[in-house]
Protein backbone atom coordinates (compact mmCIF):
# COMPACT_ATOMS: atom_id res chain seq x y z
CA UNK A 1 0.00 0.00 0.00
CA UNK A 2 1.41 3.36 -0.96
CA UNK A 3 1.90 6.40 1.24
CA UNK A 4 -0.86 8.23 -0.67
CA UNK A 5 -3.30 5.36 -0.09
CA UNK A 6 -2.54 5.41 3.65
CA UNK A 7 -3.20 9.14 3.71
CA UNK A 8 -6.52 8.77 1.90
CA UNK A 9 -7.71 6.05 4.27
CA UNK A 10 -6.76 8.22 7.21
CA UNK A 11 -8.82 11.12 5.85
CA UNK A 12 -11.82 8.82 5.39
CA UNK A 13 -11.50 7.52 8.95
CA UNK A 14 -11.30 11.04 10.34
CA UNK A 15 -14.46 12.06 8.40
CA UNK A 16 -16.26 8.95 9.62
CA UNK A 17 -15.28 9.68 13.24
CA UNK A 18 -16.45 13.29 12.85
CA UNK A 19 -19.83 12.17 11.45
CA UNK A 20 -20.22 9.51 14.15
CA UNK A 21 -19.64 12.14 16.86
CA UNK A 22 -22.67 14.04 15.45
CA UNK A 23 -24.55 10.74 15.76
CA UNK A 24 -28.31 10.35 15.91
CA UNK A 25 -29.32 14.03 15.53
CA UNK A 26 -27.72 14.22 12.08
CA UNK A 27 -29.26 10.94 11.00
CA UNK A 28 -32.69 12.06 12.18
CA UNK A 29 -32.28 15.38 10.37
CA UNK A 30 -31.39 13.66 7.11
CA UNK A 31 -34.28 11.21 7.40
CA UNK A 32 -36.68 14.03 8.19
CA UNK A 33 -35.44 16.07 5.24
CA UNK A 34 -35.95 13.16 2.86
CA UNK A 35 -39.44 12.43 4.21
CA UNK A 36 -40.44 16.08 3.97
CA UNK A 37 -39.20 16.21 0.41
CA UNK A 38 -41.22 13.14 -0.48
CA UNK A 39 -44.30 14.54 1.26
CA UNK A 40 -44.10 17.68 -0.83
CA UNK A 41 -44.35 15.58 -3.96
CA UNK A 42 -47.90 14.56 -3.08
CA UNK A 43 -49.82 11.69 -4.69
CA UNK A 44 -48.04 9.73 -7.40
CA UNK A 45 -44.96 11.92 -7.08
CA UNK A 46 -46.60 15.14 -8.33
CA UNK A 47 -45.06 18.35 -6.99
CA UNK A 48 -48.34 20.34 -7.01
CA UNK A 49 -51.72 19.78 -5.33
CA UNK A 50 -54.54 18.13 -7.24
CA UNK A 51 -56.41 20.24 -9.79
CA UNK A 52 -60.08 19.93 -8.83
CA UNK A 53 -62.06 19.73 -12.06
CA UNK A 54 -65.80 20.34 -11.79
CA UNK A 55 -67.84 18.21 -14.19
CA UNK A 56 -71.44 17.26 -14.80
CA UNK A 57 -70.88 13.91 -16.55
CA UNK A 58 -74.20 13.73 -18.36
CA UNK A 59 -73.24 15.36 -21.67
CA UNK A 60 -71.88 12.75 -24.09
CA UNK A 61 -69.63 12.95 -26.01
CA UNK A 62 -68.24 16.04 -24.24
CA UNK A 63 -68.20 14.68 -20.67
CA UNK A 64 -69.99 11.57 -19.43
CA UNK A 65 -69.63 8.40 -17.39
CA UNK A 66 -68.97 5.01 -18.96
CA UNK A 67 -68.35 1.82 -16.99
CA UNK A 68 -67.78 3.88 -13.84
CA UNK A 69 -65.18 6.14 -15.48
CA UNK A 70 -65.53 9.78 -16.53
CA UNK A 71 -64.67 10.05 -20.22
CA UNK A 72 -65.19 12.33 -23.22
CA UNK A 73 -63.61 15.39 -24.78
CA UNK A 74 -63.26 17.32 -21.53
CA UNK A 75 -61.95 14.27 -19.66
CA UNK A 76 -59.19 13.81 -22.24
CA UNK A 77 -58.33 17.50 -21.98
CA UNK A 78 -58.24 17.28 -18.18
CA UNK A 79 -55.89 14.29 -18.16
CA UNK A 80 -53.52 15.97 -20.62
CA UNK A 81 -53.69 19.17 -18.60
CA UNK A 82 -52.70 17.31 -15.45
CA UNK A 83 -49.77 15.72 -17.26
CA UNK A 84 -48.56 19.03 -18.70
CA UNK A 85 -48.91 20.90 -15.39
CA UNK A 86 -47.53 18.00 -13.32
CA UNK A 87 -50.65 18.02 -11.18
CA UNK A 88 -52.95 15.10 -10.35
CA UNK A 89 -56.52 15.52 -11.59
CA UNK A 90 -59.50 15.14 -9.26
CA UNK A 91 -62.90 15.05 -10.95
CA UNK A 92 -65.64 16.53 -8.76
CA UNK A 93 -69.13 15.61 -9.95
CA UNK A 94 -71.64 18.44 -9.56
CA UNK A 95 -75.07 18.99 -11.19
CA UNK A 96 -74.66 21.32 -14.16
CA UNK A 97 -76.75 24.21 -12.72
CA UNK A 98 -74.56 24.21 -9.58
CA UNK A 99 -71.13 24.23 -11.24
CA UNK A 100 -70.56 27.99 -11.10
CA UNK A 101 -71.74 28.17 -7.49
CA UNK A 102 -69.21 25.49 -6.57
CA UNK A 103 -66.46 27.33 -8.44
CA UNK A 104 -67.21 30.63 -6.69
CA UNK A 105 -67.31 28.84 -3.32
CA UNK A 106 -63.81 27.42 -3.88
CA UNK A 107 -65.01 23.81 -3.96
CA UNK A 108 -63.38 23.30 -7.38
CA UNK A 109 -60.59 25.01 -9.31
CA UNK A 110 -61.88 24.85 -12.88
CA UNK A 111 -65.07 23.92 -14.73
CA UNK A 112 -64.48 21.61 -17.70
CA UNK A 113 -67.96 20.46 -18.59
CA UNK A 114 -68.96 21.71 -22.05
CA UNK A 115 -69.68 25.18 -20.70
CA UNK A 116 -70.78 27.85 -23.20
CA UNK A 117 -69.46 31.34 -22.59
CA UNK A 118 -72.36 33.78 -22.06
CA UNK A 119 -72.43 37.36 -20.72
CA UNK A 120 -74.32 36.27 -17.60
CA UNK A 121 -71.78 33.57 -16.80
CA UNK A 122 -68.85 35.84 -17.66
CA UNK A 123 -70.05 38.30 -15.01
CA UNK A 124 -69.43 35.60 -12.38
CA UNK A 125 -66.37 33.67 -13.60
CA UNK A 126 -63.36 34.07 -15.86
CA UNK A 127 -63.50 32.11 -19.09
CA UNK A 128 -60.43 30.62 -20.75
CA UNK A 129 -60.08 31.06 -24.50
CA UNK A 130 -62.61 28.77 -26.27
CA UNK A 131 -61.54 25.46 -27.76
CA UNK A 132 -64.64 24.74 -29.87
CA UNK A 133 -67.48 26.63 -31.54
CA UNK A 134 -70.91 25.04 -31.56
CA UNK A 135 -74.57 26.05 -31.70
CA UNK A 136 -77.99 24.89 -30.62
CA UNK A 137 -79.64 22.39 -32.99
CA UNK A 138 -83.12 20.92 -33.23
CA UNK A 139 -83.89 17.21 -33.05
CA UNK A 140 -87.16 15.80 -34.45
CA UNK A 141 -88.76 12.43 -35.09
CA UNK A 142 -87.67 10.87 -38.37
CA UNK A 143 -91.27 10.35 -39.46
CA UNK A 144 -91.94 14.09 -39.08
CA UNK A 145 -89.34 15.35 -41.56
CA UNK A 146 -92.11 16.28 -43.98
CA UNK A 147 -94.01 18.27 -41.32
CA UNK A 148 -91.17 19.83 -39.33
CA UNK A 149 -88.14 19.48 -41.58
CA UNK A 150 -87.80 23.23 -42.08
CA UNK A 151 -86.31 25.19 -39.22
CA UNK A 152 -88.97 27.90 -39.63
CA UNK A 153 -91.57 25.47 -38.32
CA UNK A 154 -90.09 25.76 -34.82
CA UNK A 155 -91.34 29.33 -34.60
CA UNK A 156 -94.96 28.55 -35.40
CA UNK A 157 -97.49 29.33 -32.63
CA UNK A 158 -98.32 26.23 -30.65
CA UNK A 159 -95.27 24.21 -31.69
CA UNK A 160 -94.12 22.13 -28.72
CA UNK A 161 -90.42 22.63 -28.01
CA UNK A 162 -88.40 20.87 -25.32
CA UNK A 163 -85.05 21.79 -23.73
CA UNK A 164 -82.84 20.82 -20.81
CA UNK A 165 -82.97 23.05 -17.74
CA UNK A 166 -79.98 25.27 -16.99
CA UNK A 167 -78.55 25.14 -20.52
CA UNK A 168 -78.13 27.69 -23.27
CA UNK A 169 -80.89 25.79 -25.06
CA UNK A 170 -83.29 27.05 -22.40
CA UNK A 171 -82.00 30.57 -22.96
CA UNK A 172 -82.56 30.29 -26.71
CA UNK A 173 -86.12 29.00 -26.30
CA UNK A 174 -87.01 31.78 -23.84
CA UNK A 175 -85.63 34.54 -26.08
CA UNK A 176 -86.40 33.32 -29.60
CA UNK A 177 -89.33 30.87 -29.46
CA UNK A 178 -91.80 32.98 -27.54
CA UNK A 179 -94.78 31.75 -29.56
CA UNK A 180 -93.98 28.09 -29.03
CA UNK A 181 -95.17 25.98 -26.13
CA UNK A 182 -92.01 25.18 -24.18
CA UNK A 183 -91.27 22.20 -21.95
CA UNK A 184 -88.31 21.91 -19.56
CA UNK A 185 -86.60 18.60 -18.80
CA UNK A 186 -84.02 17.65 -16.21
CA UNK A 187 -81.98 15.56 -18.64
CA UNK A 188 -81.51 14.82 -22.33
CA UNK A 189 -82.92 11.34 -21.79
CA UNK A 190 -86.16 12.77 -20.37
CA UNK A 191 -86.47 15.05 -23.39
CA UNK A 192 -85.89 12.20 -25.85
CA UNK A 193 -88.53 10.07 -24.17
CA UNK A 194 -91.07 12.88 -24.58
CA UNK A 195 -90.03 13.42 -28.19
CA UNK A 196 -90.50 9.74 -29.01
CA UNK A 197 -93.84 9.72 -27.17
CA UNK A 198 -95.08 12.66 -29.32
CA UNK A 199 -95.44 14.95 -26.30
CA UNK A 200 -93.12 17.52 -27.96
CA UNK A 201 -92.31 18.26 -31.61
CA UNK A 202 -88.66 19.34 -31.24
CA UNK A 203 -85.91 18.95 -28.69
CA UNK A 204 -83.29 21.70 -28.61
CA UNK A 205 -79.74 21.01 -27.41
CA UNK A 206 -76.05 21.63 -28.13
CA UNK A 207 -74.70 20.45 -31.46
CA UNK A 208 -72.45 17.67 -30.05
CA UNK A 209 -75.47 16.08 -28.38
CA UNK A 210 -77.61 16.23 -31.52
CA UNK A 211 -74.73 14.95 -33.68
CA UNK A 212 -74.26 12.01 -31.35
CA UNK A 213 -77.94 11.13 -31.10
CA UNK A 214 -78.87 11.57 -34.76
CA UNK A 215 -75.72 9.75 -35.90
CA UNK A 216 -76.21 6.71 -33.68
CA UNK A 217 -77.53 3.52 -35.24
CA UNK A 218 -79.76 3.01 -32.20
CA UNK A 219 -81.54 6.32 -32.90
CA UNK A 220 -82.67 5.88 -36.49
CA UNK A 221 -86.10 7.11 -35.42
CA UNK A 222 -84.66 10.60 -34.73
CA UNK A 223 -83.38 13.23 -37.14
CA UNK A 224 -81.16 16.27 -36.54
CA UNK A 225 -81.72 19.59 -38.29
CA UNK A 226 -78.16 20.75 -38.89
CA UNK A 227 -78.88 24.43 -39.32
CA UNK A 228 -77.46 26.11 -36.21
CA UNK A 229 -79.88 28.21 -34.22
CA UNK A 230 -77.13 29.97 -32.28
CA UNK A 231 -73.37 30.39 -32.31
CA UNK A 232 -71.65 29.53 -29.02
CA UNK A 233 -68.11 29.04 -27.78
CA UNK A 234 -67.19 26.21 -25.42
CA UNK A 235 -64.65 27.19 -22.76
CA UNK A 236 -63.27 26.29 -19.37
CA UNK A 237 -63.95 28.60 -16.45
CA UNK A 238 -61.97 29.60 -13.33
CA UNK A 239 -62.68 31.96 -10.45
CA UNK A 240 -62.34 35.64 -11.20
CA UNK A 241 -59.94 35.85 -8.27
CA UNK A 242 -57.57 33.25 -9.72
CA UNK A 243 -55.72 35.07 -12.54
CA UNK A 244 -52.62 32.91 -12.15
CA UNK A 245 -54.49 29.71 -13.03
CA UNK A 246 -56.26 31.51 -15.91
CA UNK A 247 -52.90 32.58 -17.33
CA UNK A 248 -51.49 29.06 -17.09
CA UNK A 249 -54.55 27.49 -18.72
CA UNK A 250 -54.64 30.03 -21.54
CA UNK A 251 -50.94 29.49 -22.24
CA UNK A 252 -51.36 25.70 -22.18
CA UNK A 253 -54.36 25.76 -24.51
CA UNK A 254 -52.57 28.13 -26.91
CA UNK A 255 -49.64 25.69 -27.00
CA UNK A 256 -52.00 22.78 -27.72
CA UNK A 257 -53.59 24.68 -30.60
CA UNK A 258 -50.19 25.53 -32.10
CA UNK A 259 -49.04 21.93 -31.84
CA UNK A 260 -52.30 20.48 -33.19
CA UNK A 261 -53.36 18.66 -30.03
CA UNK A 262 -56.96 19.95 -29.79
CA UNK A 263 -58.65 18.76 -32.99
CA UNK A 264 -57.61 15.07 -32.71
CA UNK A 265 -59.18 14.88 -29.24
CA UNK A 266 -62.40 16.50 -30.44
CA UNK A 267 -62.54 14.32 -33.56
CA UNK A 268 -61.97 11.18 -31.52
CA UNK A 269 -65.30 11.76 -29.79
CA UNK A 270 -67.12 13.54 -32.63
CA UNK A 271 -65.87 11.72 -35.75
CA UNK A 272 -68.31 13.54 -38.03
CA UNK A 273 -68.16 17.31 -37.64
CA UNK A 274 -70.58 19.87 -39.04
CA UNK A 275 -68.90 23.12 -40.05
CA UNK A 276 -70.85 26.09 -38.69
CA UNK A 277 -71.29 29.09 -40.93
- Please, which pLDDT band fits residue 220 given cuts at 50, 70 and 90? confident
With pLDDT > 90 as the criterion, what percentage of the chain qualifies?
A: 66
pLDDT at 154: 86
> How much is the average pLDDT of 94-121?
96
Residue 45 has pLDDT above 60, yes or no: no
Min mean pLDDT across 14-28, 128-142, 169-183, 223-237 is at 14-28
The CA distance from 208 to 188, in Å, is 12
pLDDT at 47: 59
Strands 110-116 and 58-59, by their bridges, are: unpaired
pLDDT at 20: 38
DSSP annotation of 138: E
Residue 90 neighbours by CB distance under 10 Å: 16
pLDDT at 246: 97
- Please, which pLDDT band fits residue 122 given cuts at 50, 70 and 90? very high
Residue bearing the bigger pLDDT, 48 or 62: 62
Residue 170 has pLDDT above 90, yes or no: yes
pTM: 0.71
Residue 173 has pLDDT above 50, yes or no: yes
The CA distance from 238 to 111, in Å, is 7
- Please, which pLDDT band fits residue 149 given cuts at 50, 70 and 90? confident
Check: CB of residue 236 under 8 Å from CB of residue 141: no
Q: Per-residue pLDDT tens for 176-207?
A: 999 999 999 999 999 999 999 999 999 999 99
166 Cβ contact list (under 8 Å, min separation 6):
96, 97
- Please, which pLDDT band fits residue 261 given cuts at 50, 70 and 90? very high
> How much is the average pLDDT of 12-33?
40
With pLDDT > 70 as the criterion, what percentage of the chain qualifies?
A: 81
pLDDT at 215: 81
> How much is the average pLDDT of 2-31?
41
Min mean pLDDT across 38-42, 115-119, 214-218 is at 38-42
- Round the average pLDDT of the chain to a whole number and report it: 84
The CA distance from 162 to 88, in Å, is 39
Phi-psi region for residue 94, left (φ > 0), alpha (ψ -120 to 50) or beta? beta
Check: CB of residue 206 under 8 Å from CB of residue 183: no
> How much is the average pLDDT of 124-146?
95
Amino acid sequence: MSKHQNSAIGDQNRRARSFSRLGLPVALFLVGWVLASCANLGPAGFSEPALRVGVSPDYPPVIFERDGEIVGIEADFAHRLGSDLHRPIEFVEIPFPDLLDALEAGEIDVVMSGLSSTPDRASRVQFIEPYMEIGQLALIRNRDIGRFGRIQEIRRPGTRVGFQRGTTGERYVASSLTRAASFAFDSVEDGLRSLRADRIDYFIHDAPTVWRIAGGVENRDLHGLYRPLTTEQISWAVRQGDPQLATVLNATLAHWKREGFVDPIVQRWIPVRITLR
